[in-house]
């Protein structure tokens, strides 16, 4: 089956949700360059940039059955990419702190255990995002991609009050879903604050 470049993202997502490899490849080609440029701008490292992009699209394929609920593909992809970049910075900062021998020089623990714990939080967060209602998730991801509430309001043609309530709803749901990860979540929140400050 051949695809035309005028196919909308929504059409591609619908086809990908059914396991269509060609539609997935087209979506990949459509966004690869922009995503690569955005990620590389932050990481300044080609191998790590390639790994982030690969991880993003592998995750997208693994969750293909839920893709039809995404209303803003570009916002979703860039939001997910930014989250993965933040996770990569966190991983890199752990490497710098604990060195490459896998141990904490202060004797406070094992680097491998902490990396596994952070990976576990990443996966739990990704799964929790998928459990948000469609519009709620879209607004939340856009808010984490750097857009202001006004910009999200204009982009989605909804009121700023609706944007605010959807973000609050998302945070409330995520807090509940991630309640067992309180300590790790504090680490992540601190890193978000550092990243956006």
Interval 117-143 mean pLDDT: 79
Q: Region of 109 please: left (phi>0), alpha (psi -120 to 50) or beta.
A: left
What is the predicted pLDDT for the residue at 34? Answer: 93
Q: Is the pLDDT of residue 52 over 80?
A: yes
Per-residue pLDDT at 28 exceeds 70: yes
Mean pLDDT estimate for the chain: 76
- Residue percentage of the chain with pLDDT more than 70: 71
Q: Give the per-residue pLDDT at 36.
A: 92
Q: What is the pLDDT of residue 26?
A: 92
Residue 144: which pLDDT band, with cuts at 50, 70 and 90?
Answer: confident
Q: Measured between alpha carbons, how far is 24 from 184 in angstroms, rounded to an integer?
A: 33
State pLDDT tens for residues 71-116: 889 988 988 888 888 877 766 664 454 444 444 444 444 444 445 5
Q: Residue 31: is its pLDDT beyond 90?
A: yes
Based on its alpha-carbon atoms, the radius of gyration of the chain, rounded to whole angstroms, reads: 18
């Amino acid at each position: 089956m051949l695809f035309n470049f005028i196919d909308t993202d929504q059409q591609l997502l619908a086809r990908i949700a059914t396991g269509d490899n060609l539609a997935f490849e087209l979506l990949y080609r459509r966004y690869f360059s922009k995503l690569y440029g955005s990620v590389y701008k932050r990481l300044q490292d080609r191998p790590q940039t390639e790994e982030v992009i690969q991880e993003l699209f592998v995750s997208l394929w693994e969750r293909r059955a839920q893709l039809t609920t995404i209303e803003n593909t570009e916002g979703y992809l860039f939001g997910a990419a930014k989250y993965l970049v933040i996770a990569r910075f966190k991983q890199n900062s752990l490497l710098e702190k604990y060195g490459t021998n896998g141990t904490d020089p202060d004797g406070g623990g094992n680097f491998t255990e902490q990396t596994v714990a952070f990976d576990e939080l990443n996966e739990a967060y990704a799964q929790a995002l998928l459990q948000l209602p469609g519009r709620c998730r879209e607004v939340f991801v856009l808010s984490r991609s750097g857009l202001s509430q006004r910009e999200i309001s204009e982009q989605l043609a909804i009121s700023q009050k609706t944007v605010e309530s959807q973000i609050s709803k998302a945070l409330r749901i995520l807090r509940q879903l991630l309640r067992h990860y309180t300590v790790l979540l504090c680490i992540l929140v601190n890193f978000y604050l550092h990243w956006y400050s």
